[in-house]
Structure 1
């Protein structure tokens, strides 16, 4: 399968939309929403998993309810460019649980991170003593999220 496979038909898309809305649907419930028999629906779902269209299953947690009251977006610039600092940075972020996402970006910064922390003091400690402690990190700029107006609920499956 290519990065974007147009071989997904309307039934595949119904299955994907339903699974993004509620991945805990039983196969019978999913088959009803997809307008398929349970066995056909199960085969389609397994195919979507095998193709990697469905990347995995997880629960969306409310950060505030588990004590993570601060979300921030952090732009990171590396001091030296090239393969070694970029590789070292990519490896380093994998082991840091506060970093929820890390994207290589174009523009002024090299990376954009989505970070969470219990409070501002914890976030400051993370920035000063963990992220900026890496010798290849030249600068960071952060923006604290004041309010989440829309939470991620899934990809738009047309």
Structure 2
């Protein structure tokens, strides 16, 4: 299924599942206005073609004790393949780093890091981030308040 082939039903399936991934096929079919069998077939096609990567739950980080969120801008000392690969592999294996993007601009990478509090972030800096392969500079910005933290991918450009 290519982007060009996402019709309104498939788009509605994606929208509905982003809002509630626990919908049964029956509930999903009622929500999008299609019977169960074609809904199920479209859902399977969306999964197989990679439009749906996985199903997950959104956990309230505050309720599980991760009240400190930091955006860390990281620069590498060298931009050679083995350093970049080692850095990215180390980042992928670190659960406290929940997002990491390679960027243009002042930073090579921007990471989103969750810790219990600022003291734990300081400890995390010294024990983890400063030891990541190739790291030469880090600038940290503590998030005071999340203004918007959506997970759904907007799909209005497809209609």
Shorter-normalised TM range = over 0.9
Q: How is 1:123-134 mapped onto 2 (pairs within 5 angstroms)? A: 123-134=121-132
Aligned-partner Cα distance in 1 for 2:10–2:22: 17
Structure 1's unaligned 5+ residue stretches are: none
Q: Which runs of 5+ in 2 are unaligned?
A: none
- For 2:154, the equivalent position in structure 1 comes to 156
Q: Is the 8 A contact 2:86 2:133 kept in 1?
A: no
Contact 2:75 2:107 in 1 (8 A): yes
Residue matched to 1:115: 113
What do the CA deviations read for 1:77-119 (whole angstroms, capped 9, x no partner)? 0011121111110111111110001110001111110110011
Preserved CA contact (<8 Å) 2:83 2:133:
no
Q: Give the 3 Å change call, closer, same or farther, for CA 87–153 of structure 1 in structure 2.
A: closer
- The DSSP-based 3-state class of the residue aligned with 2:136 is strand
CA contact (8 A) 2:87 2:133 kept: no
| Residues paired across the two proteins, number | 156
The alignment's C-alpha RMSD in Å is 1.1
Q: What's the TM-score once normalised by structure 2's chain length? A: 0.94
Distance 1:135-1:10 versus aligned 2 partners, 3 A rule: closer
State TM-score, norm by structure 1: 0.95
The more displaced of 86-95 and 148-157 is: 148-157
* Runs of 4+ with >4 A deviation: none
The residue correspondences of 1:79-158 to structure 2 (distance < 5 A) are 79-158=77-156
